[in-house]
Amino acid sequence: MDISKNNILSNVKETQHPELIGVDIFSGAGGLSLGAEMEGIKVQYAIELNSSAAKTFVRNHSGAKVICEDIRTLNPKEIIKDKNVFVIMGGPPCQGFSLSNTRNRTMDNPNNQLFKEFVRFVKELSPTWFVFENVWGLTKIDKGETQKMIETSFEELGYTVNSSILWASDYGVPQNRFRFFLVGNKHGVKFQFPPKQERKVTVEEAIGDLPLLNNGDNIESLPYRIPWSEASAYAQLMRSDSKVSMQNYVSRNNDLVIERYKHIGQGQNWRAIPEELMFNYADKKRCHSAIYKRLKADEPSVVISNYRKSMLIHPHQHRGLSVREAARIQSFPDNFIFEGPISHIQQQIGNAVPPLLAKAVMHQILSYIQEYE
């Protein structure tokens, strides 16, 4: 499944470390892998069950062997054979751990047991490092006992571990997204999480140079709205070597939804919609605060999960976000191309680890190499 890759970011390390092999399990589109590759780690293997996400990974990670199968059926040593693995990374499916999922937030849910497959791969392959990522709600299950049980599973394999909840906006990502990270080292090094950046990147800085679009637009390629020299530093970084904005896809909303959008100011949500336009909601008390949320231009975005289902609204235009805008807010560069139907792409973006957040963690990991060598 190898395929040639564009230059994903102009600041990808010129000096790769071919001896530093990465393995990405539950990889999704490959946000963690992209962050690792920015730091010179060569991700050679990925495992992802979703076929659209696996195709996205293949397209954007040249030379990686991508296995689109159920991880529970795989033998790690048959895949990797005799190679030494530097880091295993991944985020087991997290829907069951989410605090919004009250019915499945127990360890009786089979999906919540998939972390054991991560432990199994670490046990079999004995990487120097592992990076386990998940929703922050994992830390709240059973008053923290689930987190302790997962950490103990790795400690019993001889790993020194440390965990933290990281805010993506502290690491150059224009989004107030917070995720649980657990990092382990087999040589006794206790990982210290990277220092935060003081300055936050805003939504306007992230997407202000992208094309003006309409509800339902499905345009593969469009010129940028402003020249590179006038774009923000963040937009320049995301544009990399791209000459045009790709995948300008906007889900089409019906006229009623668009009329609702017109009543919502920046930072407001469904509560700003007039009562007569909400007639088809039987119980508005059940509406989540993130529904019909218009982004604020001068702040980082709210969480980009499945932004179509939650009806996130462009800060200035009466429409939902485009694929490219959502990818920018997740810190995917413009030459990262997603595969599959638009609904699959939207889910891939929402599920991904922001590459710049992953890059910060991987940069910190590499700073310890001399310590254990």
Question: Can you tell me whether residue 43 is helix, strand or coil?
Answer: strand
Q: How far is CA 328 from CA 51, 83, 175, 325, 357, in A?
A: 23, 35, 10, 5, 13
The angle subtended at Cα 88 by Cα 141 and Cα 106, nearest 5°, is 15
- Residue from 251, 309, 305 nearest 28 by CA: 305
The tokens for 158 are 């001889």
Catalytic-labelled residue, pool 94, 231, 304, 360: 94
Does the CA dihedral 294-8-249-230 come out positive or negative? positive
Distance in angstroms (rounded) separating the CA atoms of residues 168 and 184: 20
Alpha carbon of 281 to those of 5, 128, 238, 260, 271: distances in Å?
46, 52, 39, 13, 12
| Alpha-helix residue ranges (DSSP H) falling in the chain | 31-38, 51-60, 76-80, 115-125, 145-155, 203-207, 233-239, 255-261, 323-329, 342-351, 355-366, 369-372
68 given a catalytic annotation: no
Q: 289 with 310: CB under 8 angstroms? A: no
Structure tokens at 46: 């990925």
Q: For residue 223, give the DSSP letter.
A: -
Which are the catalytic amino acids?
A: 94
